Structure formats: C-alpha cells, structure tokens
Chains A and B, each alone.
Chain A
Amino acid sequence: MNVILDFIAALGRAALNLVRTAGALALFGLAGLSHLVRPPFYWRIFLGSLVEIGFFSLPVVALTALFSGGVIALQSYTGFAQYHVQSAIAGIVVLSVTRELGPVLAGLMVAGRVGAAMAAEIGTMRVTDQVDALTTLSTNPVKYLVTPRLLAGTLALPFLVLVADILGVLGGFTVSVVKLDFSAPAYIAATLATVKPIDITVGLAKAAVFGFLIALMGCYHGYHSRGGAEGVGAATTSAVVGASILLLAFDYLLTDVFFSQ
C-alpha cells in the first residue's frame, strides 16, 4: 500500500515540477519578448547572434539537408520500385523535406550548436557574477542577454530552413538522376507539380517557432544556472535536451494544426 502511495506521490511531484518549469519558462519567454517593444534594443548583440546562428550554422545544416534528401530518394526508390511508381519519388522528396525534415533536422542541428553555446555563455556570465554586474551598470540583463537572442533565433532559423529545403531537394535530385537514372527535366517537373506554397510556408513558420524555442531554452537554462563550471555544464545539457524535446512536441502540434484538415 505504502509503495503505491509513494509511487503516486512521486508521480505527482514530477507532474508539479513539470508544470512549474513550464510556467517559469513561459514567464521568462514573455519577459524576454516584452523588452522587444521597450527600447533600448541591443543591435550589436542581435546582429552577433544572427550571424552566429544564421551564417555559421549553414555548413552543418546544408550537409544534413543534402544527405537527408538523398537518403529519402534512395529509400523511397527501394520501397516503391516494385509498384512501378518511381515518378512519385520527386514528390515524396520535396514534401518530406519542406514539411518535416528541413525544419526538424535544421532545428535539431541548431539546438545542438547554438542552444548549447547560448546556455554556456550566459551560464558562465551568471556564475561569474557578470549578469549581476550588468544590473549594477544600468543594464537590464534580460533585455541585454535574452531579447536579442530570442529575436535572432526566430529570424535565423526560417532562413536556414529555406536553404535546407533547396539543398534537400537537390540531394534527392542528384541521387535520382545520377544513381537511379531518372530524367532530370521530368524530376524537376514532378517536383514543381507536387509542392504547393503552403508546404514551404508552413515549414518556415515551424522553423520560426523552433528557432524561438531553441534560443529560449538556451537563455533560460544559462540564465538560471548556478554552482560553477559543473552547473554551466548541466545547463548546457538541459538546454539541448529540452530544446530537442520541445521542438519535436511542437512539431507534432503544428503539423496537427496545419495539415490534418
């Protein structure tokens, strides 16, 4: 009997913790956003983060997209060859890349790269009193550290995903034409015939949400880290894991909202 009660109590505690964290995250995000409309805005930090996320993530996102597009083409070829519907491959590639793989894979890559870096940077500032020093120098730390990063994440990820879309389709195209001997014009025609603007725009909208979430998790965990280098390490891990899980959960929600009618 006691064992069961303990178990239920533990479950309840975990659930409460989850709700509390979710609430704290939401408040933190709102605080960060509220500074968008209250000047000053720290352009230097914003542009720095924008370049860091949007430009320096390009290689890793590009490679990921290129290979994923190629893999989709290969997989669907082996899967569908027996049904003689090879013409569908172009469509499968472009839809899976624009709707899902582009945003999700780019998001996960950026979560690992940028979310971790943000958590480590802000976390180090926290445990070495730099965040407190900001306050004593007439600077609101959330406005200075968090708001520009949230905006940069939200704007940079759609750009990365647009690149990922193009390169993913290119990957599928290359594999299909070079390895599977499809005709290039037919592949392109099939691609254009299948994809609709909404596939791309919804993918980009997802990307904006993912970018926000990644920056939010990086900033939140960094900002609340404590306890020296170890604490910063833990914050970095939490930021990446948390951002990845949130990202997949929101991917499901957004897909449900946009595509399930």
Chain B
Amino acid sequence: MTDATPKIRIRGLTKSFGPKRVLDGIDLDVMPGTSCVVIGGSGSGKSVLLRCILGLIAPDSGSIEIDGVDILTLPPRRREGAIEKIGMLFQNGALFDSLSVWENVAFGLMAAGRRHGARMARAEARAHAGQVLEQVGLDPSVGALYPSELSGGMQKRVGLARAIASQPDILFFDEPTTGLDPIMGAVIDGLIVDCVRRLGSTAIAITHDMASAQRIGDRAAMLYQGKLIWQGAASALLDSGNPMVDQFTHGRREGPISMELRR
C-alpha cells in the first residue's frame, strides 16, 4: 500500500437527488494498471458513481483523487485536464448521431481542446479510426456509416472504440457487454483486458454479467444502498462468503436483498 498511490482514490463520497441518497459514503481505491468491476442492482447508483468521477455530477461531499490529486478542489481548467485522462463508454453508447462513425471514433483525437498529445489532422485521424474499429471487430468501412445505421451491438462497439481511441490512462465502461451476443461479449471482454494489460490503463467496469466480471476484473466491489458493501478479488465473486453478494451473483430471489419492486 505504501509503494504506490492509487490511480483513483475515493473517500466518503455522497450524493443525493432530492430526498433520495444514491451514494452514501463510498470508499474505493483502484491501483494503477488494475481493473475493478462494480456490480449492484439496477438503480443502485453505479452510473452515478462514474459520473461523479468524471465531473458530470457534483457530489455532495467526499473526495475523489486521481494520481493523488483531489479533482473536486481543482480549478475548472486543471480539473478538465485531469478528466481528459479518462475514456468513457456510456451505458447507452451516447454516439454523436450527427457525425459519421469514424468521426465519432476520432472525435477526441481531433478535438481542438485536447491537452495531452498533439491534435490529429482529419486524414490521419480517419486512418487511425479505421484501425481502432478493426480492434473492436468492426470493418473499417463501417466508419462511413452513421450511428443510426448500426445495430445496437455495433453501436456499443463504436462507443468502445471511441473510448479507447486516444489510449487514455483510465477507462470507464458502463455495461460494455450488455446487448451483445455471448461471443462478441467475450471478444469485448478480451479487448478490455488487453487495453488494461497492454496500455497499462486503469479501469472501472460496471457489469451485470458475472462471467464477464470475472474475465475483466482484478478486483470487484458491490454497491448496495449507497455503500460498497463488499470488496475483494474478482475471482472470489461467486464464493465471497458475503450473503448479499452471494444472493446477487447467483441471482437468487430469496436472501437478504429484497428487491423493491413496489414503489
């Protein structure tokens, strides 16, 4: 613990929407070059957690350190610089539908506001986008299409390509394999692992798929009622010894977690 500062270090993070407390004191460390999967029921606040780190939602209290610097107290410009190190795959893709696929993938590379690394010219960026599309199992000719012309799974892969195109230090995946067939799901998992291993990126992935969680994650954490009730090795997910995690990972109806279906 003393030899390395965590890439991401979260302490006491809270966030409420009106009376509803979604995050209630989150503590999480993610070490450099490792990946952490976050599991938890639908609506438990997993996406909100990632959005807080990305600065898209302002938390009520707590601290978020990236490379040892608390980004919540940084002035806006430096915070943007810190957040630029993060690539994000949104849960619903969030592709720019007015731009073609390759422009989507290369958007960050061509962005004029880019701080790290030189801004790419369009021709170069287009070629690069083709390569990244190939990495996610898409033909480079897909680059000329528009997002609305793609299937849901293809959109997911384009979103993934956009997130990894600039080879960011940190990668966030919000349900990367939801909506993909099992084989493509495994391919994407492999790709994520590859990014983390090869680029040395640090990753946080949200998933509902236990097989995928074990393939992607070094560490795992479970979010329940605003708290991380369990953290451990991802390989231990299926026999964690924690009754709530057990119920969740095995998908049992009976157990300490009672789904609030009535509302």
Binds B, one of A126-134, A154-162, A247-255: A126-134
A121 to B107, CA, bound (A): 19
Output the nearest chain B residue to A42 by Cβ-Cβ distance.
B112
Could you tell me which residues of chain A, from 149 to 196, have a CB within 8 Å of some CB in chain B?
none
A140 to B115, CA, bound (A): 12
**B95 lies within 8 A of chain A by Cβ:** yes
Could you tell me which residues of chain B, from 52 to 75, have a CB within 8 Å of some CB in chain A?
54-56
Nearest-Cβ distance from residue B249 to partner chain A, whole angstroms = 28
**A40 lies within 8 A of chain B by Cβ:** yes
B111-A136 in contact (CB<8A): no
Nearest-Cβ distance from residue A140 to partner chain B, whole angstroms = 6
A137 to B114, CA, bound (A): 8
B90-A132 in contact (CB<8A): yes
A23 to B162, CA, bound (A): 37
A122 to B58, CA, bound (A): 22
B113-A40 in contact (CB<8A): yes
A132 to B90, CA, bound (A): 9
Taken residue by residue from 76 to 118, chain B's Cβ proximity to chain A (1 for < 8 Å, 0 otherwise) reads as: 0000100110111011101111100000000110011111000
Number of interface residues of B (CB under 8 A): 26
- Given A128-B92, A129-B90, the answer on whether A136 and B107 have CB atoms closer than 8 Å is no
Output the nearest chain B residue to A144 by Cβ-Cβ distance.
B113
Taken residue by residue from 35 to 67, chain B's Cβ proximity to chain A (1 for < 8 Å, 0 otherwise) reads as: 000000000000000010011100000000000
**A138 lies within 8 A of chain B by Cβ:** yes
B87-A133 in contact (CB<8A): no
Output the nearest chain A residue to B172 by Cβ-Cβ distance.
A136
Choice from B84, B96, B111 contacting A130 with Cβ under 8 Å: B96
- Given A40-B113, A128-B94, A140-B113, the answer on whether A135 and B56 have CB atoms closer than 8 Å is yes
Choice from A40, A124, A128, A132 contacting B56 with Cβ under 8 Å: A132
B108-A138 in contact (CB<8A): yes
Q: Which residues of B contact A40 (CB under 8 A)?
A: 112-113
B113-A133 in contact (CB<8A): no
A140 to B55, CA, bound (A): 13
Q: Which residues of A contact B55 (CB under 8 A)?
A: 135
B96-A138 in contact (CB<8A): no
A133-B96 in contact (CB<8A): yes
Q: Which residues of B contact A129 (CB under 8 A)?
A: 90-92, 94
**A34 lies within 8 A of chain B by Cβ:** no
Nearest-Cβ distance from residue B175 to partner chain A, whole angstroms = 13
B107-A139 in contact (CB<8A): yes
Nearest-Cβ distance from residue B83 to partner chain A, whole angstroms = 7
A121 to B98, CA, bound (A): 9
Output the nearest chain B residue to A48 by Cβ-Cβ distance.
B98
Choice from B51, B56, B92, B162 contacting A137 with Cβ under 8 Å: B162
A135 to B57, CA, bound (A): 12
A137-B90 in contact (CB<8A): no
B111-A133 in contact (CB<8A): no
A102 to B80, CA, bound (A): 45
Q: Which residues of A contact B108 (CB under 8 A)?
A: 137-138
A138-B114 in contact (CB<8A): yes
A135 to B51, CA, bound (A): 11
- Given A132-B51, A132-B90, A133-B90, the answer on whether A138 and B111 have CB atoms closer than 8 Å is yes
Q: Which residues of B contact A143 (CB under 8 A)?
A: 113
Output the nearest chain B residue to A45 by Cβ-Cβ distance.
B98
A223 to B107, CA, bound (A): 20
Of B83, B84, B86, B112, chain A has the most CB atoms within 10 Å of the CB of B112
Choice from A121, A130, A135 contacting B95 with Cβ under 8 Å: A130
Which residues of A are at the interface with B, using a C-beta cutoff of 8 A? 39-40, 42, 121, 124-125, 128-130, 132-133, 135-140, 143
Q: A133-B95, A137-B108 provided; 19 other pairs, C-beta below 8 A?
A: A39-B112, A40-B112, A121-B98, A125-B96, A128-B94, A128-B97, A129-B94, A133-B90, A133-B96, A135-B55, A135-B83, A136-B54, A136-B86, A136-B87, A138-B80, A138-B84, A139-B107, A140-B113, A143-B113
A/B interface sample: 6 pairs, CB < 8 A: A124-B97, A128-B94, A133-B162, A137-B162, A138-B108, A139-B113
